[in-house]
């Protein structure tokens, strides 16, 4: 049977939605049965899925709440999990963003993600000075991340 994948995201500036879309597209192309869900519009039933991929952004040093509410669900314990975070910090220091916002949740909820992605977020127009800042969002990073994840999932 085709494995069912949930790609769920919360976004405020739009970048996590772009990343989630790229991930869902890649997983579909790899043969998975994928549902893409905006957590602001729907509450997915985790029990329906074999693989759960959840992502969100960060603002004023806080990760979005609906991301956390998925990560603390007990039903996640027997699912394959992957997480991604979108932040301004990740434009230059993706590892720092993981350390600051993802690792504490992994520890708190005793998660065992197969993959953790840290993707560059949108710099609001009025703050974007350099070309790199204006074009910080790179969905192709999420596609490559999802390709690797798909390979891992197919291996076992």
Ligand X SMILES: Cc1cc2nc3c(=O)[nH]c(=O)nc-3n(C[C@H](O)[C@H](O)[C@H](O)COP(=O)(O)O)c2cc1C
Q: Please, what sign has the CA dihedral across residues 37, 39, 42, 46?
A: positive
The set of residues, in sequence order, having a beta carbon less than 8 Å from that of 30 and lying 6+ positions away, is: 146, 147, 150, 154
Candidate list 5, 53, 63, 87; residue touching ligand X; CB under 6 A: 87
Pairing mode of beta strands 115-120, 33-38: unpaired
Candidate list 31, 42, 43, 59; residue touching ligand X; CB under 6 A: 59
| 26 binds ligand X, rule: CB under 6 A | no
CA distance 150 to 25: 12
Site string for ligand X, 88-127 (x = CB under 6 A): xx-------------------------------xx-x---
Which range of residues in 30-38, 44-52, 68-76, 83-91 is near ligand X by CB under 6 A? Answer: 83-91
Binding residues (CB under 6 A) for ligand X: these are 11-16, 57-61, 86-89, 121-122, 124
């Amino acid at each position: 049977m085709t494995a069912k994948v949930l790609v769920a995201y919360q976004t405020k500036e739009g970048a996590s939605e772009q990343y989630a879309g790229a991930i869902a597209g890649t997983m579909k192309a790899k043969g998975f049965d994928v549902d893409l869900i905006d957590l602001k519009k729907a509450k997915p039933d985790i029990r329906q899925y074999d693989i759960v991929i959840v992502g969100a952004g960060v603002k004023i040093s806080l990760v979005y709440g609906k991301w956390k509410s998925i990560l603390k669900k007990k039903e996640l314990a027997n699912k394959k999990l992957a997480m991604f975070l979108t932040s301004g910090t990740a434009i230059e220091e993706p590892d720092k963003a993981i350390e600051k916002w993802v690792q504490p949740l992994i520890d708190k909820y005793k998660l065992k993600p197969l993959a953790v992605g840290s993707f560059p977020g949108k710099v609001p127009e009025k703050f974007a000075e350099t070309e790199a800042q204006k074009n910080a969002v790179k969905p192709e990073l999420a596609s490559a991340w999802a390709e690797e994840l798909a390979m891992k999932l197919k291996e076992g």
